[in-house]
């Protein structure tokens, strides 16, 4: 684990320098005592010292051997990347497209990339996760989820579910 | 009114059908979370938090607490039956629990875990009832210097106990404190490290961080890694033999005591009491060499300690307003979302909520005991759900959870950022818990420190001239020095990094 810890230590040291610089721009001390820059400045110094200690230990002390699975298969990285990609999609389109349309891409994409799933399972989970999930969270659990410009298309489904629940309620 | 009367009132509120339903539902969901590998109690609680937004505060906290200790028990099932710990606290149970299952005593292992969890949890809750009012009265005498010193004790413990490496533990703590600096300065109101981003003015929310670092980080690691081989074992008999019963009595008592006292100390983490109680049993046993081959003591003690710890860890939260672990920090976040500030004033201002939640711990522990044993085959069948389906659903829940706290897509993006950070933490063996704890404790600590210095006009000796503050700082120094010596011993013996 020598090299990963050396790289981490260098990165942490650079981060601590950045934090120290940003803290320096804030007020360090006021007539009433420490200012907003006091705490982060000292923390950045502690982080810098720790990163130096980490680099020293990684370089000059005997290090743990790197686990066999530290660098896993290429396919594994692609799967992890797929999760990140789906999440980026959700972040970017949740507001402009609304929850239901965003998740209509999010769910099948993940199901297709994370492993082998039958086509009807993909359709079922996409509908349940997007339309069903929206309905349960907004109507039953009273959680606000974003609506998009095309959500009017779901009105018949919403009406049907509302009438179904009202019959059930009676 | 004394504690007993308050508790009885709490039971009356807790037995209201809605609250009872949420306690049962929380136990069910918690057990599912515990059973599923990759979704620990912290990520699970954060993920399910949005479900409680529309609920009254009491029901919401009752359900989240039930999720917490349900997850702790759920982790045991997979540890015993398939040798896969559902959450970290159950890892030690794999050693003897799985061996018992291979010998056809898996049912007995689960039964003793359930009974031990019930006893440990119930005794710890009794401790909470007895200690709540005296500790609250003491906490009300605390001023900012004492609070600063108390939080310093919590931090020193979190750092020294949460990691194999002291340096990595300290770095995790400092990073958490730095993340906590983002947002409006708690004393003067100046924005810090926001870089013009208005979403950052309130700082990083605990939910995106916990969900990202524990949940998304773990899922990325699972997606990247190779698949775990799940070995199914048969469940034959749920009843303990007389010999097993006799062998479990003292480990359960010792596990309860260890778990309870460890739960009182903020920052210890659930791994310490479970490993400690296992170690104690091994040391006290006439046959230490048989540990790891299916000794019931090796299941009874850590599982009892685990649940006793979880219930006792609520004591610092309720009485002092200090979260002892990452999950408790999330539950504290839930309190805050309902406009409640955990701590001594909560007992004064909202006794009906606090005591109902405490009463729900008894009910939750009983529900887990009654519900879980007959339902074990169902929990195990959940492990057969294909991973793409399971993880897609979990990720969908996480998106909703991240968005719905502040109805912010910025938080959704932030969750991924912290997910990648959590992945790197796990890859490089950095402990996550100190970061989560310090994100909660950081602003409180800074406020206490700066208010103290405001009181003393900038004189740092204020921390060393007040008896309680000095006592706490000495305690913190002892913890830091002892862990330093322990780390030095490790350097000489082996390696630290």
The answer to whether the Cβ–Cβ distance between A87 and B399 falls below 8 Å is yes
In a domain, A69, yes or no: no
Structural element, H or E, at residue B493: helix B467-493
In chain B, residues with a C-beta closer than 8 Å to the C-beta of A72 are: 224-226
Q: Is the dihedral of CA B393, B220, B79, B361 positive or negative?
A: negative
Alpha helices in B162-313 (DSSP H): 166-180, 206-210, 217-224, 242-264, 271-284, 297-312
For A110, the domain range is 74-169
pLDDT band at B237 (very low <50, low <70, confident <90, very high): low
* Beta pairing partners, B183: B192
Q: What is the per-residue pLDDT for A26? A: 87
Neighbouring residues of B104: CB distance < 8 A, sequence distance ≥ 6: B234, B236, B237
> For B298-354, how does the pLDDT look when each residue is reduced to its tens digit (9 = 90+)?
899 998 998 888 888 888 888 878 777 778 888 888 888 888 888 778 877 888 888
Q: Is the pLDDT of residue B269 over 70?
A: no
pLDDT band at A46 (very low <50, low <70, confident <90, very high): very high
Cα–Cα distances in angstroms (integers) from residue B365 to residues B118, B259, B316, in the given order: 5, 15, 20
> For B133-188, how does the pLDDT look when each residue is reduced to its tens digit (9 = 90+)?
777 777 777 788 888 888 787 777 666 555 567 888 889 989 999 999 998 887 77
Q: What is the per-residue pLDDT for B266? A: 65
In chain A, residues with a C-beta closer than 8 Å to the C-beta of B178 are: 19, 40, 43-44, 47
Nearest to A61 among B391, B423, B495 (CB): B495
Q: Is the pLDDT of residue B216 over 80?
A: yes
In chain A, residues with a C-beta closer than 8 Å to the C-beta of B416 are: 84, 87-88, 91
In a domain, A161, yes or no: yes
Q: Which residue has the higher pLDDT, A98 or B351?
A: A98
In chain A, residues with a C-beta closer than 8 Å to the C-beta of B53 are: 141-143
Identify the closest residue of chain B to A106 by CA–CA distance. B396
Q: How far is Cα B364 from Cα B359, in angstroms, rounded to an integer?
A: 9
Q: Can you list the positions of beta strands (E) in A16-97?
A: 29-30, 33-34
The answer to whether the Cβ–Cβ distance between B392 and A114 falls below 8 Å is yes
Q: How far is Cα B395 from Cα A87, in angstroms, rounded to an integer?
A: 8
Q: Is the pLDDT of residue B267 over 80?
A: no
Nearest to A57 among B178, B407, B497 (CB): B497
CA distance A157 to chain B (A): 21
Contact indicator for B430, B172 with CB cutoff of 8 Å: yes
The answer to whether residues A87 and A164 belong to one domain is yes
- Angle at CA of residue A24, ends A18 and A27, nearest 5°: 140
The answer to whether residues A43 and A109 belong to one domain is no
* Beta pairing partners, A30: A33
Contact indicator for B263, B311 with CB cutoff of 8 Å: yes
Give pTM, 2 decimals. Answer: 0.77
- ipTM comes to 0.91
Identify the closest residue of chain A to B401 by CA–CA distance. A143
In a domain, A142, yes or no: yes
Q: Which residue has the higher pLDDT, B51 or A109?
A: A109
- Angle at CA of residue A96, ends B394 and B395, nearest 5°: 5
The answer to whether residues A122 and A82 belong to one domain is yes
The answer to whether the Cβ–Cβ distance between A33 and B177 falls below 8 Å is no
In a domain, A68, yes or no: no
CA nearest neighbour of B79 among B100, B93, B96, B99: B93
Q: What is the per-residue pLDDT for B407? A: 85
In a domain, A67, yes or no: no
CA distance B350 to chain A (A): 25
In a domain, A42, yes or no: yes
The answer to whether residues A158 and A98 belong to one domain is yes
Can you tell me whether residue A34 is helix, strand or coil? strand
Q: How far is Cα A84 from Cα A94, in angstroms, rounded to an integer?
A: 15
- Taking phi first (over 0 means left), then psi (-120 to 50 degrees means alpha), and beta for anything else, what does residue B442 get? alpha
Q: Is the pLDDT of residue B30 over 50?
A: yes
The answer to whether residues A18 and A81 belong to one domain is no
Contact indicator for B134, B367 with CB cutoff of 8 Å: no
In chain A, residues with a C-beta closer than 8 Å to the C-beta of B427 are: 4, 70
Q: Is the pLDDT of residue A49 over 90?
A: yes
Identify the closest residue of chain A to B179 by CA–CA distance. A40
Q: How far is Cα B35 from Cα A13, in angstroms, rounded to an integer?
A: 40
Q: What is the per-residue pLDDT for A17? A: 96
Q: How far is Cα A12 from Cα A43, in angstroms, rounded to an integer?
A: 12
DSSP state for residue B158 in the 8-state scheme: H
CA distance A115 to chain B (A): 6
Cα–Cα distances in angstroms (integers) from residue A94 to residues A99, A135, B414, B440, B486, in the given order: 5, 16, 14, 28, 49
In chain B, residues with a C-beta closer than 8 Å to the C-beta of A141 are: 50-51, 53-54
Q: Tokens 């990083």 correspond to what residue?
A: B204
Q: Tokens 């349900």 correspond to what residue?
A: B70
DSSP annotation string for B397-437: HHHHHHHHTTT-HHHHHHHHHHHHHHHHHHHTT--SHHHHH
> For B466-482, how does the pLDDT look when each residue is reduced to its tens digit (9 = 90+)?
888 898 889 888 877 77
The answer to whether the Cβ–Cβ distance between A110 and B399 falls below 8 Å is no
The answer to whether residues A126 and A45 belong to one domain is no
Q: How far is Cα B402 from Cα B210, in angstroms, rounded to an integer?
A: 10
The answer to whether residues A90 and A51 belong to one domain is no
DSSP annotation string for A78-133: HHHHHHHHHHHHHHHHHHHH-HHHHHHHHHHHHHHHHS---HHHHHHHHHIIIIIH
DSSP annotation string for B307-361: HHHHHHTHHHHHHH----SHHHHHHHHHHHHTT---SHHHHHH-HHHHHHHHHHH
Q: Tokens 């794999």 correspond to what residue?
A: B94
Query: How many Cα atoms are found within 13 Å in the side-chain-facing hemisphere of B455?
Result: 16
CA distance A153 to chain B (A): 21
Q: How far is Cα B149 from Cα B228, in angstroms, rounded to an integer?
A: 44
> For B41-89, how does the pLDDT look when each residue is reduced to its tens digit (9 = 90+)?
777 787 777 777 778 888 888 888 888 878 877 778 777 776 666 666 7
Q: Is the pLDDT of residue B228 over 50?
A: no
Q: What is the per-residue pLDDT for B230? A: 44
Q: What is the per-residue pLDDT for A168? A: 62
Mean pLDDT of A22-42: 85
The answer to whether the Cβ–Cβ distance between A106 and B399 falls below 8 Å is yes
In chain A, residues with a C-beta closer than 8 Å to the C-beta of B409 are: 91, 94-95
CA distance B262 to chain A (A): 28
The answer to whether residues A87 and A165 belong to one domain is yes
In chain B, residues with a C-beta closer than 8 Å to the C-beta of A57 are: 167, 496-497
Q: Tell me the two tokens of residue B17.
A: 């059908």
The answer to whether the Cβ–Cβ distance between A79 and B175 falls below 8 Å is no
The answer to whether the Cβ–Cβ distance between A84 and B185 falls below 8 Å is no
The answer to whether residues A83 and A132 belong to one domain is yes
Cβ-in-10-Å burial (0-12, 13-18, 19+) of A150 comes to exposed
Identify the closest residue of chain A to B169 by CA–CA distance. A50
In chain B, residues with a C-beta closer than 8 Å to the C-beta of A73 are: 226
Q: Is the pLDDT of residue B497 over 50?
A: no
pLDDT band at B496 (very low <50, low <70, confident <90, very high): very low
Q: Tell me the two tokens of residue B468.
A: 């309680």
Highest mean pLDDT among A38-42, B109-113, B373-377: A38-42
The answer to whether the Cβ–Cβ distance between A87 and B193 falls below 8 Å is no
The answer to whether residues A136 and A88 belong to one domain is yes
Mean pLDDT of B395-413: 87
Least confident of A81-85, B248-252, B293-297: B293-297
The answer to whether residues A81 and A55 belong to one domain is no
Q: What is the per-residue pLDDT for B376? A: 72
The answer to whether residues A90 and A47 belong to one domain is no
Q: How far is Cα B157 from Cα B372, in angstroms, rounded to an integer?
A: 34
Can you tell me whether residue B471 is helix, strand or coil? helix
Q: How far is Cα A41 from Cα B446, in angstroms, rounded to an integer?
A: 13
Return the residue in A73, A82, A83 with the most chain B beta carbons within 10 A, the one to mutate for interface testing: A83
- Total number of domains constituting chain A: 2
In a domain, A65, yes or no: no
Return the residue in A8, A90, A102, A121 with the most chain B beta carbons within 10 A, the one to mutate for interface testing: A90
Cβ-in-10-Å burial (0-12, 13-18, 19+) of A104 comes to middle
The mean predicted confidence, pLDDT, of chain B is 80
CA nearest neighbour of B148 among B314, B322, B332, B330: B322
In chain A, residues with a C-beta closer than 8 Å to the C-beta of B64 are: none
Q: How far is Cα B12 from Cα B182, in angstroms, rounded to an integer?
A: 42
CA distance A103 to chain B (A): 8
Express the helix, strand and coil content of chain A in percent, nearest 5 each: 75, 0, 25
In a domain, A118, yes or no: yes
């Amino acid at each position: 684990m020598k090299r990963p810890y050396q790289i981490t230590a260098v990165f942490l040291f650079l981060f601590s320098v950045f934090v120290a610089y940003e803290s320096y721009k804030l007020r360090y001390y006021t007539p009433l005592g420490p200012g907003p820059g006091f705490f982060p400045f000292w923390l950045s110094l502690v982080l810098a010292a720790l990163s130096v200690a980490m680099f020293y230990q990684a370089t000059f002390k005997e290090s743990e051997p790197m686990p066999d699975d530290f660098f896993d298969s290429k396919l594994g990285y692609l799967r992890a990347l797929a999760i990140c990609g789906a999440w980026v999609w959700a972040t970017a389109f949740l507001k402009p497209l609304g929850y239901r349309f965003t998740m209509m891409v999010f769910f099948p994409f993940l199901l297709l990339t994370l492993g082998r799933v039958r086509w009807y399972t993909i359709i079922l989970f996409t509908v349940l996760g997007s339309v069903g999930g929206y309905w349960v969270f907004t109507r039953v659990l009273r959680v606000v989820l974003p609506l998009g410009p095309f959500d009017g298309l779901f009105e018949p489904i919403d009406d049907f579910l509302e009438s179904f629940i009202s019959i059930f309620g009676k | 009114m004394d504690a007993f009367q308050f508790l009885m009132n709490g039971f009356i509120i807790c037995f209201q059908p809605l609250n009872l339903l949420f306690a049962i539902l929380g136990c069910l969901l918690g057990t599912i979370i515990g059973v599923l590998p990759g979704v620990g109690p912290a990520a699970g609680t954060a993920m399910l938090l949005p479900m409680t937004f529309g609920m009254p505060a009491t029901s919401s906290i009752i359900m989240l607490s039930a999720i917490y200790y349900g997850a702790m028990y759920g982790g045991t099932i997979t540890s015993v039956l398939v040798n896969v710990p559902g959450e970290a606290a159950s890892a030690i149970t794999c050693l003897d629990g799985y061996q018992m299952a291979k010998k056809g005593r898996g049912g007995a292992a689960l039964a003793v875990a359930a009974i031990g969890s019930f006893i440990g949890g119930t005794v710890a809750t009794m401790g909470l009832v007895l200690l709540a009012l005296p500790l609250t009265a003491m906490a009300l005498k605390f001023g900012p210097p004492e609070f600063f010193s108390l939080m310093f004790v919590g931090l020193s413990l979190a750092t020294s106990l949460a990691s194999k490496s002291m340096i990595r533990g300290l770095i995790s703590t400092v990073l958490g404190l730095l993340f906590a600096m983002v947002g409006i300065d708690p004393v003067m109101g100046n924005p810090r490290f926001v870089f013009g981003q208005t979403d950052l003015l309130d700082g990083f929310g605990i939910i995106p961080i916990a969900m990202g670092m524990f949940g998304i980080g773990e899922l990325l690691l699972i997606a990247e890694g190779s698949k775990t081989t799940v070995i199914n074992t048969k469940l034959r008999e749920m009843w303990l033999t007389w010999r097993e019963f006799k062998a479990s009595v003292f480990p359960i008592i010792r596990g309860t005591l260890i778990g309870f006292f460890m739960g009182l100390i903020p920052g210890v983490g659930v791994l310490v009491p479970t490993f400690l109680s296992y170690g104690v049993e091994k040391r006290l046993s006439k046959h230490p060499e048989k540990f790891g081959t299916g000794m019931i003591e090796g299941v009874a003690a850590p599982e009892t300690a685990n649940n006793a710890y979880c219930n006792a860890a609520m004591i610092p939260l309720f009485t002092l307003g200090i979260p002892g672990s990452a999950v408790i920090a999330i539950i504290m976040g839930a309190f805050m979302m309902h406009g409640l500030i955990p701590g001594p004033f909560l007992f004064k201002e909202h006794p009906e909520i606090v005591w109902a939640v405490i009463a729900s711990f008894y009910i939750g522990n009983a529900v887990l005991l009654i519900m879980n044993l007959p339902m074990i085959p169902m929990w195990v069948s959940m492990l057969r759900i294909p991973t793409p389906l399971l993880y897609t659903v979990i990720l969908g829940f996480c998106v909703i959870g991240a968005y719905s706290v502040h109805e912010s897509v910025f938080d959704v993006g932030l969750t991924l950022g912290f997910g990648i950070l959590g992945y790197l933490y796990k890859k490089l063996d950095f402990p996550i818990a100190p970061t989560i704890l310090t994100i909660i404790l950081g602003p409180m600590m800074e406020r206490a420190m700066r208010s103290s210095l405001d009181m003393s006009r900038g004189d740092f000796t204020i921390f060393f001239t007040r008896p309680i503050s000095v006592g706490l700082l000495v305690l913190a120094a002892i913890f830091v020095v002892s862990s330093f010596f322990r780390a030095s011993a490790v350097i000489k013996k082996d390696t630290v990094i």
